[in-house]
Structures are given as structure tokens and as C-alpha cells.
A and B are shown apart, each in its own frame.
Chain A
Amino acid sequence: MKMKEKLLNLKNNKLFSRYKGILILLVLAVFFWGVFKILTPQNFGSWENLFSYMQTSLMYSVGACGFYFIIIMGLFDFSLGANIVLSGILACIFSYQFGYFGLIIAPIICGTLIGLINGFLYTRLKIPSIIVTIGLLLIYESLGSVIAGGKVQILDKQYQIFGSSPANILLAFFVFFLASVLLKYTKIGTYTYAIGSNEFIAKSMGINVNKYKIIAFMLLGFFAGVMSILAVSYGTSMAAATGMATMSRNFTPIMGCFFGVAFKKYGSPILAIVIGEFIITIIFNGFVAIGAPTTIQNVVTGAALLIIVALTARTVKGVIVK
């Protein structure tokens, strides 16, 4: 009798609810796919199309995984786009000298270093992370433009392996695996949630809050570095951008990240991020397929962000949101 109860309990608590979250997301994905498939059956949603959507979405998911650590702590980082551009430019430059080694190591070091600077200044200056990262993103953008010297940096054909399957998929899944392990099997994961939940209690439990905040920024920087490898390989080039133009690169990863936050209660946020980004990519490509102008796409991006956040970030009543 007790055994039976236990089994039931397990089913209710863990497995079922876990699959429930994933199930909802998969149903959403199929739904959006269906809608656009009906609207434009010819140029949308074949198996080849879907495979290509997925590869695009994997790139964004990598950045979203990094964002997750920051968002859960209640922080924010606007410099992700600038980080990707700067790291991507360095990736191109260093690949000429050191081949694949340069392509991989340079952006990862650059990305992580940017995360360290963000985190360090945020904890030292004691001003909101949004302001810190907006200030720094202008610096990173200018740095990228100086290094690139006004030229578009092109990735040589021989180093484009991460631009197509299976290398891009393998790299992305390695990162997802890493993020999952960090969340579930290290102190970093536990403390990330603890700090996000109640910083005061976390502090009185002896957690070095500032240290783990810096680690979270560094993780985002690391993931941004990996994302920039995928981005330059996929786009085969990287151009510097200034005047906050890199901000637009933030939004797709952020949107995916919010899927992770919303579905975290089902126990597998990283998987939710991956499927969530896939859904977003389907919507984008769907609009492209029906020939909607880019302005409409931007409207949809904005509206989707607001709707998703409004639906998922259902905070406790009375909490003041700024």
C-alpha cells in the first residue's frame, strides 16, 4: 500500500509535472507551425525548413541559457549583444592566426572577461545592473569598432564548420548540458536560486552573494562567447556596430530565457529555453514566409515579448515592479 502511494506521489510530483511543462511547449510549437503551414503551405514548414529553424534557434538558446542565471537572480545585462559582436570580431581575427583554436578560445575568453567586468563593476559601484551594463555596452561597442577598424570581419571558408550541422548542434548541446549540470549539480545553481529568492536569507546562510553574482555575469559572458562562435560561423562575418545598435541582439535570447523562467516550476528550464526559442524562430520565419514586411516582424517581436512576460512573470500581488 505504501509502495503504491509512493509511486503515485512520484508520478504526481516529478515525472508527470516535468513532462507536462514540456508537453505544453511542444503543443505550442506544433500549433504555431500548423497556423503558418495553413497560411502558406508552399514555402513554410517542410522538414528541411524546420531543421534550419532549429539550427537558428539553437544559437539564440545558447545566449538564453546564460541569461537565465542573471535573470533568476533578479539582475539584468544589456551588454550581451555588444559582447557577441566584440567576441565575434575577435573570433574572426584570431582564426586567421590560430585557426580553430583561435576561433574558439578568443571569443570565450573575451566573453567571460566582459562578464567579469560587468559583474565586478556592478558589485563594486552598487548601482543597478541595467545601468552598469548599458554604460559598459557603449564601451564594448566602441572597442569592437576600433578593433575591426571599420571593416567587416569575414570568417574564412575553411573555418566555418560551426555554421552547419552537425558541429553547430553538438556545440550547442554541449552548452545546454553544461548549463543543466551547473544548475542542478553545483552550488552555483542552488545559490543562484537562493539569491533570487531572498538575498537577505541567502546572506545570513553564509552565501557570498557578490561572488555568486559575479559568477553569474561570467557565465553569461561565457555563453555569449560561445554564441558568438555560432553567430560568426552561421553568418560567416561580423561587423562592428555602435550607438546601442547591438541591443537588438539581446532580445531573442531574452525571450527564450523568459520561457525558461516561466517553466522552471516544471523542473527543466534549459529544455524549456531550447523549445521556447524554437517556437520564437517558427513565428519569425512564419511571418517571413507569408511575406510580412520587417516592420510587422518587429511589431510581432515586441508584442510577443510583452505577452510572454506578462503571462509568465505573474508576480505576487502587491509587489512593486519598476
Chain B
Amino acid sequence: MSEVILRADSISKSFGITKAVKNVSMSFQKGEVRGLIGENGSGKSTFVSMLCGIYTIDRGQFYLNGEELKIRNQVEANNKGISIIVQEMGTLSGLTVAENIFLGHEDRFVKYGIKNTSSMIKEAERLLKQFGFDKINPTAMIDYYSFEERKLVEIVKATYFSPQIFVIDETTTALSKQGREELYKILNQIKSEGNTIIFISHDLLEVIKYADNISVFRDGELIDTVPSQNVEEDELKKLMVGRKLTSSYYRRDYGKPVSDEVVLSVRDVSVPGQIEDISFDLYKGEILGIGGISGAGMHELGKAICGASFYRKGKVILYNGTEINSISTAIKNGIAYASRDRDVESLVINDSIRNNICLPSLSDLMVRNIISDRALNKFAKDNADLINIKMEGINQFVSNLSGGNRQKVVLARWLGKNSDIIILDSPTRGIDVKVKADIYSILSDLKRKNKSIVIISEEMLELIGMSDRILILKKGRISGEFFRDKDLSEEDLIAKMV
């Protein structure tokens, strides 16, 4: 049991200014099931993506059976006996099931340049049968199947060649109970063949049950590896969260009642496959937190509220009866939205701070349909100064700013628009502590001015620290509601999330 099959030696990876994985060294035993846990963004997915050739490694090296592992893509990883089921969709639309299973490995069916399609289909059929997934037809287009069935195809694709190391990245949440059972069966079988499994999941009980050892990631670092036999869920949570936050950058007021004036009602809102039947009210001057694990639907909910969702059902009604069905109605009626994907969905990166701030307010700044440079400059400068954007000037390009200051530009824009309802998706994602504190104090100011704010976040502490009320989403539905309380703990929230 002590034979090391895989060793990671000071692996690091950055995305721009964010250090996703910092100097991680660890080893994996032969025949072991290793759980990897950690909060969202703790670096565990990035770590295994490097192992499987999806991302390149910035610094450090993997050693497989003592040998340096040199791979450039997933197929090369497969050839070394490493395979992965990814968190997102890993199958390709427009190809058949059989083509998907053998994508990148067609050569075994090719003779003189001609692919023996029927023998490939036969082989796929045999594998599907062997795995017990007879209901999937190898000749059918993969598009005909649901997300879960496509995941089953991925399981076949990743394991039919009995890999030495099999990585499951947060797949179980996408599977039904039956699908999970199938996966556990395969997991046990791979283990019994003496191979190693790396198992990433947010479901801690599941990890404790199936893993032999559990490694905890936090902020891109490996915190600890513990045997799963006598570990308690609570201990793991403590390791995941780490610090008990003592600093005072959150709101410190407690027990002040929130107005009972409803500014926005969300009624039976659904987006197929994402969120289901969500109803709640937002009150004047309230900070409402919405939390959940990634994939629970809270990001989609933010879009649904301001009319940016496709296929939305249900209603979003303003206090005056206006229904919000499109982004432009939302903005006209004083609803602001800052997307989680700041650089793509919120900002025009290759444009100046000034133009970004003025963008939604242009019609307010026009005098007889003419926009004057002076008006724009003043407007941008006033709003930028209001929240201390660190910049050379308002004509600096947004692309030259740090993540935190970019987020401030987004906030300055909506401050300028004087929106009454502000929906912020992951407002402090990838932002350093200093700017975080600034953003929290801006939010507190806004609350004092009786603006209503919705914070969607994967960071529990942020929600607890800032919100008057917290809604927790689980699998697209509201699974819990908490009111502002000194004694509210992360564990309370997590219990409703998983």
C-alpha cells in the first residue's frame, strides 16, 4: 500500500494575476482513492487539469512511477494511463457516441487511411454493454442525450482502457442517484485492479465514504492530507475554511430591522436545467445574499432577475408593477447587474475607464442628442473618485487595471447610473483583501442610501458578513433562508448547500 505511483513536485499555476495553484507537492499511492476537497477556487480543479494535460504547468513537475511526466494534451495523458472526467461538458456535439468515445484514439480502427466505422461502433457497443449502459446507442448523435447520459459516455471514454490514474472532477453532482451508483461501482472496480483514483467532490460525506485519504486545498495551497477512517465532516470543513475571520472589514451592525417595503418580487422563476421555481422579495435598503456551490444555479438566478436569461419562465416584478423581461427594461428601471465574468460580460476591456463608466448613462448625459466630451469626462471622473479607483486617469484602458480596480469601474458605472437595485455576482472574486474591504464599504454606503443590493457569492464568509438575509440554493432551488445573526456560521450555510 505504500508504493508511490504519482508524485507532484512544487506545482504552480497562475491565470494572469491570480495564483490558482501555489507550490503544491504531494504523492499518491498505488491502489488508493484520494479525495480532494476545498472551497470553490481553491485550486483543486486546476491542479488535476495540469495532471491531465488540459492546462500547461507553470512551474514544477509530475512524476509517474518515478519518471518525469511529459504530456501536452489529454490523449497523451491517456496513453500514459491517466484519464479524467471533467466538471463541464467533455463530449463534443455533432459527433456520434462512438466517435466521442474514441476521439483521439481512432488510429486503432484505421487501416490504409480508412476508418473502419462499423468495427468502431461494435467496440463502442461492447463497451457500453459491459458498463451496463445499454440504453445508449453508439451510432446516435451525442446531442440526443441528456447531460447525465453524456457524462456516462464520458465515464466509458475515460475508463475503458483501465487507467492507472483516474480523476473524477466534481462529476457526482451532475448525476442522479442511479448514475452515482454506477460511478461508485466503476470506482471500486478500478481500485480493486490496483489503480489510483483522484476524487474531487463537494459532497464531503461522499468523499469520506469512498476515499482512503483526503487532501484539503485552500487558496491554491495544499493544507493537509488526512486518512478518512476517523475524520469528521466538521474537521474537514474547518480545514477547508481555515482562518476564523477576525478582521473587521465586514459590516458590524446587527439587529437593525430592514424596511418592509418590497422593491422587487421574484415569482416562480425557472430556467430549464438551471434554476427551478424560485420566489422571493427584495426589500428597500436590504442586502440579500445568495449562496450555494458552483452549479447550484445562483449565477443564473442573477441573470434571470435582470432579464438576461434565456428561456426564463416566471415573473420578476418591480414595486410599481413593471415586469422585468429584458436587460434594457431592467436598466431603465434602475436595476444594475455586475456579472461574475467581469472581463467578458461586464466590461469593455479594450476601452477607457471613462467610456466604461459612461456606457449605460449616455442617454442621461446627452444634451439635445449631442454628447459632449466635457460632460463625459466630468461624469466619469466624479464617479471614479467617489470610490477611489486606482488609475493614471480616466482615459487609461481598463485592460491595464488589476481585477479589483476593474470591479470598481463596474461599481462606478452603476453608481453613476444611480440604480436602486444592484445585483452583484461574485463581486470580490479574485480580488485582494485591500480592495475587497473598499468594496464592502461601498456596499455599506449604498445600503445607507436605501439602495437594495443582491450579492451572489460562493464565499460564505462574505455572505454572512454583509447580508441582512441569505438564501441558499441547492440544485436550482432555494434550500435555506438565514437572517443576519452574529452566531451564524459557515457550517450552517454549508449544511443547506450539500
Interface residues of A (CB under 8 A from B): 9, 13-14, 72, 181, 184-187, 189-190, 193-194, 196-198, 201-207, 264-265, 317-318
Contact = CB atoms under 8 A, between A and B. Distances in A.
B114 A181 contact: yes
A197 B310 contact: no
B75 interface: yes
A187 B114 CA distance: 8
Contacts of B75: 205-206
Interface stretch (B133-141, B237-245, B478-486): B133-141
Given A190-B115, A198-B92, A207-B103, 6 more contacts: A194-B94, A196-B94, A197-B93, A265-B143, A317-B310, A317-B311
Nearest to B104: A205
B385 interface: no
A9 B144 CA distance: 13
B96 to A, nearest CB: 9
Interface string B269-302: 0000000000000000000000000000000000
B76 interface: yes
Interface in B124-146: 137, 139-141, 143-144
B73 A205 contact: yes
SS class of chain A's interface: helix, strand, loop or mixed? helix
Main secondary structure of the interface of B (DSSP, over half): loop
B410 to A, nearest CB: 20
Interface string B71-84: 01111100000000
Contacts of A185: 114-117
B466 to A, nearest CB: 30
B31 interface: no
Contacts of B90: 201
Interface of B: 53-54, 72-76, 90, 92-95, 99, 103-104, 106-107, 110, 113-117, 137, 139-141, 143-144, 310-311
Contacts of B115: 184-187, 189-190
B147 to A, nearest CB: 15
Nearest to B141: A265
A187 B92 contact: no
A74 to B, nearest CB: 11
A72 B92 CA distance: 13
A181 B83 CA distance: 31
Given A196-B94, A317-B310, A204 B54 contact: yes
B408 to A, nearest CB: 27
Nearest to A186: B115
A204 B114 contact: no
Contacts of B95: 190, 193-194, 197
19 contacts: A13-B137, A14-B139, A14-B140, A72-B94, A184-B117, A185-B115, A185-B116, A187-B106, A190-B115, A197-B92, A197-B93, A198-B93, A203-B73, A204-B54, A205-B75, A205-B103, A206-B74, A207-B103, A318-B310
